[in-house]
Amino acid sequence: MSAQATDAPVYVIGHKHPDTDSVCSAIAYAYLRQALGDTRVRPARAGDLNAETGWVLQRFGLPAPERLESAAGRQLILVDHNETAQALDDIRHASVLEVWEHHRIGDLDIPRPIVFHCEPVGATATLIAEQFLLNDVPFSPAIAGGLLAAILSDTLALSSPTTAEKDRQMVRRLAIAAGVDATLVGAELLAARGDLAARSVADLVDSDFKEFDFAGHRVGIAQVEALDVSSLVARRLEALAELARVRERRGLELVLLLVTDIGRKGSHVWSAGDHQAVVDHALGCSAGEDEAWVAGCMSRKKQVVPALEEAFAAL
Ligand code: MN
Ligand code: MN
C-alpha cells in the first residue's frame, strides 16, 4: 500500500451478485468519506444491478456505482462481505483497507491491522448510517433513502429475525432524513423484486405445499410469503380455482393457501373443499371482508396447524 500514489482511488465495493445493501452501503460510505475530505474514495459494484436495486437507485436519484471487473492492484474498502468466494475473483491481489460487515467472519488474509467492523445487525447499511451519526455528517435525502432501502431490503422490512434494535432506530432516523414513509418504501421495494407477479398461481401454490392429517381429515396447506402480496390478491379467483384443482388431484378434503403479508403481519386464508366454516372459525377469518384476512397469522407450523388440529378433533 505504501507504494500506491496517495491520490490513487479507493473503491468501496460489496459482494458479487450485488444486492441493495451492497450497492447502497458502498455509495453511502464513499459519500461519507468524501464529506470527511477523503476525495480518493468512490463507490463501486461487483456485478449487474438487480431489479430491486435498480428501482432503489432510481427512486432516490442515486447514480449506479462504477462496475469493477478486477480487484488487482486496487485499494478496496469492502462492505457487506468478507469472504473471498463472494468478492471479486482476484481479491487476493488487491489491498483491502477496511471492512464493514454483518456476516460471519470469512477467510480474507489481510497482513496488517485494518478497520474491520463486523456486527450482527440486519444490514451493513445500519453500520454505515451509524458512522454518519458518529462523524456528525448529515445525510442527504438521497443517501438516507438508499441506506433506508438497504436496511429494509436485508431485513424484509424489519420482519426478519435478523433485525436488531439498531436497525429499527436507523430506519426511523433515515426515513425522516429522506422524507419518506419507511413502510411504504419497504412495500414498494419488495414489490420491485417482481417475484409474485411474474409467477403463475400454480407455481405459487405448489412451491411450499404440505399435507396434514387432522383427526383423519386430509388437508393440504400451501403458503406464500411476501411483503407485497397485492399481485396475488388480485388473482384470488384464479388461486381458488387452482386450490380446487390441487384438492381434486391430491384427493384431499380441504386445501388452504396462506398468503402471508410480511409487512401487514397477517395472512389471507383461502380455501377449497369441505369444512371451510371450520377453518374460518378456527383461525378467526374475517370471512367475506378483506379476502379472508387473519391478522397476526404468520406461521403455518406455530399458528395454523395447531388450530386446525384442534378444530378437526372436535368435529
Ligand atoms: Mn448482501
Ligand atoms: Mn447485507
- Do the strands 95-101 and 115-118 form a parallel or antiparallel pair, or are they unpaired? parallel
- Do the strands 209-214 and 217-226 form a parallel or antiparallel pair, or are they unpaired? antiparallel
**Collapsed DSSP state (helix, strand, coil) of residue 212:** strand
* Three cell numbers, residue 118: 463486523
> DSSP assignment, residue 49?
P
Of the chain, the percentage scoring pLDDT greater than 70 comes to: 94
Ligand 2 geometric centre to CA of 108 (Å): 18
Ligand at minimal distance from the CA of 15 is 1
Helix residue spans in 51-164 (DSSP H) = 51-60, 124-134, 141-154
Query: Between the CA of residue 147 and those of 40, 140, 182, 183, 261, what are the distances in Å?
Result: 21, 11, 11, 14, 23
**Distance, CA of 219 to CA of 149 (rounded, Å):** 39
Cβ contacts of residue 108 below 8 Å, gap of 6+? 78, 82, 83, 84, 87, 91, 96, 99
Ligand 1 geometric centre to CA of 21 (Å): 5
* Three cell numbers, residue 222: 400451501
Ligand 2 geometric centre to CA of 18 (Å): 10
**Distance, CA of 143 to CA of 192 (rounded, Å):** 19
Ligand 1 geometric centre to CA of 86 (Å): 10
First to last CA, the chain: 75
Ligand 2 geometric centre to CA of 36 (Å): 24
Split at pLDDT 50, 70, 90, the class of 287 is low
Cβ contacts of residue 169 below 8 Å, gap of 6+? none
Ligand 2 geometric centre to CA of 5 (Å): 31
Ligand 2 geometric centre to CA of 80 (Å): 5
pLDDT score recorded for residue 301: 63
> DSSP assignment, residue 194?
-
Of the chain, the percentage scoring pLDDT greater than 90 comes to: 63
**Distance, CA of 25 to CA of 143 (rounded, Å):** 9
Ligand 1 geometric centre to CA of 170 (Å): 18
Split at pLDDT 50, 70, 90, the class of 289 is low
Torsion sign across C-alpha atoms 93, 12, 151, 126: positive
pLDDT score recorded for residue 115: 97
Ligand 2 geometric centre to CA of 189 (Å): 15
> DSSP assignment, residue 286?
B
Which of the two residues, 132 and 196, has the higher pLDDT score?
132
* Three cell numbers, residue 294: 387473519
Ligand 1 geometric centre to CA of 256 (Å): 34
Contact 200, 294 (CB under 8 A): no
Mean pLDDT of 29-57: 95
Ligand at minimal distance from the CA of 121 is 2
Mean pLDDT of 221-248: 92
Mean pLDDT of 173-189: 96
Mean pLDDT of 107-118: 92
Neighbours of 30 (CB within 10 A): 25
Ligand 2 geometric centre to CA of 29 (Å): 14
**Distance, CA of 198 to CA of 216 (rounded, Å):** 37
Split at pLDDT 50, 70, 90, the class of 172 is very high
**Distance, CA of 257 to CA of 275 (rounded, Å):** 14
